[in-house]
Amino acid sequence: QVQLVESGGGLVQAGGSLRLSCAPSGRTSRSYAMGWFRQAPGKEREFVAAISWSGGSTAYADSVKGRFTISRDNAKNTVYLQMNSLKPEDTAVYYCATKGWVRDTVWTREYEYEYWGQGTQVTVSS
């Protein structure tokens, strides 16, 4: 019922920036938490960032803290991931995830999410 479409991925040089967007559709709840995860070749899918449904709380993986910023615009029904100071280690497929009808907090575990996007490739060259 809920579909997520990510956009904004691409190829950038180290130190550059990218802004990912995720636009959910077919929603049945106004209170939906959002999260970003990524999967690099040969590695497990890992948590990147999360935001509560109101936008009042955020959480980040240690590996991206200080460089990435998650935000949301509920009027546009869109969540963003601003990625600055990108490193080659950030190269991965990035996935947007959501879970509706939740309390206003952040969710950082894969099993806590119900719907997932198709993923968008981010490649950072040195």
Q: What is the pLDDT of residues 41-58, one digit of tens each?
A: 999 999 999 999 888 999
How high is the pLDDT of residue 27? 61
* N-terminal to C-terminal alpha carbon distance within the chain: 40
The span from the CA of 114 to the CA of 126, in Å, is 35
| Interatomic CA distance for residues 68 and 33, integer angstroms | 18
In this predicted structure, what is the pLDDT of residue 29?
A: 62
CA distance 27 to 69: 24
Q: Is the pLDDT of residue 28 over 70?
A: no
Which phi and psi (to 5°) does residue 8 adopt? 105, -5
Query: pLDDT digit string (tens) for 56-104?
Result: 999 999 999 999 999 998 777 789 999 999 999 999 999 999 988 778 8
The yes-or-no verdict on residue 33 having pLDDT over 60 is yes
Alpha helices by DSSP H, listed for 44-125, are: none
- The secondary structure of 81-102 as a DSSP string is EEE-S--GGG-EEEEEEEEES-
User: What is the rounded CA–CA span in Å between residue 57 and residue 118?
Assistant: 25
CB 122 within 8 A of CB 21: no
pLDDT of residue 54: 87
Counts for the chain of helices (H) and strands (E), in that order:
0, 11
